[in-house]
Amino acid sequence: MGRFVYFVRHGETVWNVENKICGATDIALTDHGHEQAVELGEYICQNPVEADVILSSPLSRALDTANHISELTGLPVKIEPRLKEQNFGKYESTPRDGEEFRLAKMHMADSYEGGESMFRMAQRIYDLLDEIRTIDDHTYILVAHNGIARFIHSYFFDMTNEEFSRFGISNCEILKYEFKD
């Protein structure tokens, strides 16, 4: 049997409801977001999700989600700064489906005027996944953000720039990835 890592996107935020880019801005969960996180924790308890540790982004929307999961599963939560969402610079708080932002996401070296480039983001996420794969035999649940989901997915699967920029998951969705040797 191979080694696995799970990825969870945080629960719903006000900016998710308003279709705004959260990025590195620390936006809290809505009441519904808290409910989603509790439901996910219950799902993890009732289904074959076997993990040892939860690693969470330091942003409150992810950390609150991780803590709800932890309360139900008993898994310890550790903050992992590399899971913090990408800083989208001038695009934070703007519409997620804006045409300018959609095109900007395909420019991998662009730092969005004060943000973080896709290349820099990929380096920190790929480094984290390389460590998880090689350092110990724990199975982790990573709780983070939609932008992080793109990089996690691209670590395990080849993607075109267009596929990468379009990739996303729902709030409190859980995905399972297998490390290949």
Residue 113: which CATH number? 3.40.50.1240
Among this protein's residues, is 10 annotated catalytic?
Answer: yes
Q: Which of 69, 99, 87, 173 is nearest to 124 (CA)?
A: 87
What is the pTM assigned to this prediction?
0.94
140-144 and 53-56 beta bridge pairing: parallel
Query: Active-site residue 138, yes or no?
Result: no
Q: Which of 116, 162, 168 is nearest to 146 (CA)?
A: 168
Give the model confidence (pLDDT) of 84-140 as tens digits. Answer: 999 999 999 999 888 988 888 888 899 999 999 999 999 999 999 999 999 878 999
CA distance 88 to 165: 13
Active-site position among 85, 116, 145, 153: 85
Side-by-side strand order, sheet with 174-179:
77-79, 53-56, 140-144, 3-9, 174-179
Q: Convert the pLDDT of each residue in 10-24 to its tens digit.
A: 999 999 999 999 999
* pLDDT score of 163 more than 50: yes
**Domain encompassing residue 61:** 3-179
Concatenate the DSSP letters of all residues of 37-64 into one string: HHHHHHHHHHTT---SEEEE-SSHHHHH
The total domain count for the chain is 1
